[in-house]
Amino acid sequence: MDSPGSDSAARSSVIDSLKGCTLAGVRIPKEELRKTITVPEYLRLAMKDAIEAKNVSGGKRHFEATHVEGSEPLEPAEAPLVVFVNSKSGGRHGPELKARLQDLMGEEQVFDLSVVKPHEFVEYGLGCLEKFASLGDSCAKETREKLRVVVAGGDGTVGWALGCLGKLHEQDRQPIPPTAIIPLGTGNDLSRSFGWGGSFPFNWKSAIKRTLDRASNGPTCHLDSWNLLISMPAGEKMETPHSLKPTEEVSLDQGLEIEGELPEKVCCYDGVFYNYFSIGMDAQVAYGFHHLRNEKPYLAQGPISNKIIYSGYSCKQGWFFTPCITDPNLRGLNNIVRMHIKKFNCSEWEQIPIPSSVRSLVALNLHNYGSGRNPWGNLKPDYLEKRGFVEAQADDGLLEIFGLKHGWHASFVMAELISAKHIAQAAALRLELRGGEWKEAFMQMDGEPWKLPMSKDYTTVVEIKRVPFQSVMISGE
């Protein structure tokens, strides 16, 4: 039987879709929209050539052909857009959506992510505009300054694009293009959080015009992102998700002494998340489902079938029914995890006990989690004051840390009948894992799960700290 949250999620999804079915999209004249968002042809072609050549000067011939003696300078678009499309998302709509977008703007402004990666656009496409601007091209300069990005895909695709745009901060290449979203994934929690809806609209052909119009003139807001670092004993093999990369070393905070013995040699991993990180039973279920879907893709044909299979797999894994209470794999996380946090505007680490009943620990950045649910809840001012909490925001520099006890508890939380078990709000988080009888722990961030092998003799450290700059988002509301 579906949990109470399934009906609420279905209603939310339908409402989100109906919001996209307004006649507002029809009233936007196609030619007027095209004129507003289309980059001048010579710049589109120059960026395309630069990306293909992997050289910022790869499109120089277009600059030379346009800037001949006596020629009038070209006018930039009022609100230039580029779109990244994950054509594999959105079922059969992916390729159709790409064609529709190309019809509404310059074809070269629509990038299929299977062909052009976001980091290639950032390095060579934007680099080409910056190169032209340095040569005195005012049209290229203004286009670079006004440019906005639309990502058509799920949360993972959006996070990928935001991570690549974030490199502009590190390279001091300002401004950072703000990002809008066309939701094509299953959960679409990032899309929901910034007013772009939770599902692909029924009348998408006309709704796309409205989306592009809102993307071109919507107000901007900010989003925190979080850096996750893992230091574990060397020699252990770990299959990592796309969002987690091996690195030579990680810089752990030296202000806290690690309990337990550290190995002489470590292997390290580094990644960024925007929505959540979790450890425990929920991640174990997600890991099993992820591998089942990869092995038998015919079972997962869309969001609804995915959720049905996911629910069934949850029962099988013991998330709802515990076969043996003494099985060490089913005990609370407090047996293997020691948690410290830093509170807002505080440099000292504080140890926070994990309740023995908690089998899943979640550090949440957004209001939306698990297809639009709010497990932290809308807490009353008296309760916030009593616990020393503040109202949760996506740009407040804090993670909301809560616990889930078991599948039934999680179901009531996800149905928003109760709140999760509030544990802390943190500006930084450190988890120290020690194996004992546990051979492995399961983790996930932003929907990508992995299995972390644990040593019986040495401590594994997971540290989460805020990225020092924020992503710039476009509000769709």
Q: Is the pLDDT of residue 309 over 50?
A: no
Q: What band does 156 get if pLDDT is binned at 50, 70 and 90?
A: confident
Residues of the chain with CATH 2.60.200: 226-468
CA distance 67 to 135: 11
DSSP one-letter string for 137-178: -HHHHHHHHH-EEEEEE-HHHHHHHHHHHHHHHHTT-PPPPP
Question: How many whole angstroms from its chain centre is CA 352?
Answer: 27
Lowest-pLDDT choice from 211-215, 308-312, 428-432, 441-445: 308-312
Q: Is the pLDDT of residue 20 over 60?
A: no
Stated pTM of the model: 0.82
Of residues 265 and 415, more confidence is placed in 265
**Which is it for strands 350-352 and 440-445: parallel, antiparallel or unpaired?**
unpaired
Say which residues have a Cβ less than 8 Å from residue 45's Cβ, sequence separation at least 6. 59, 62, 108
168's tokens:
């502009």
Kindly report the CA angle at 186 between 184 and 360, in degrees rounded to 5? 145
CA distance 354 to 335: 9
CA distance 179 to 84: 10
Of residues 328 and 160, more confidence is placed in 160
What percentage of the chain exceeds 90 in pLDDT?
51
pLDDT (mean) for 348-372: 90
Is residue 395 classed as helix, strand or coil in its secondary structure? coil
pLDDT (mean) for 23-28: 54
pLDDT (mean) for 138-155: 95
- pLDDT, tens digit, for every residue of 120-145? 999 999 999 999 999 999 999 999 99
Domain 226-468 class? mainly beta
What percentage of the chain exceeds 70 in pLDDT?
83
Mean pLDDT (the chain, rounded): 83
- pLDDT, tens digit, for every residue of 453-472? 988 888 899 999 999 999 99
Query: Cα-atom radius of gyration of the chain, to the nearest Å?
Result: 24
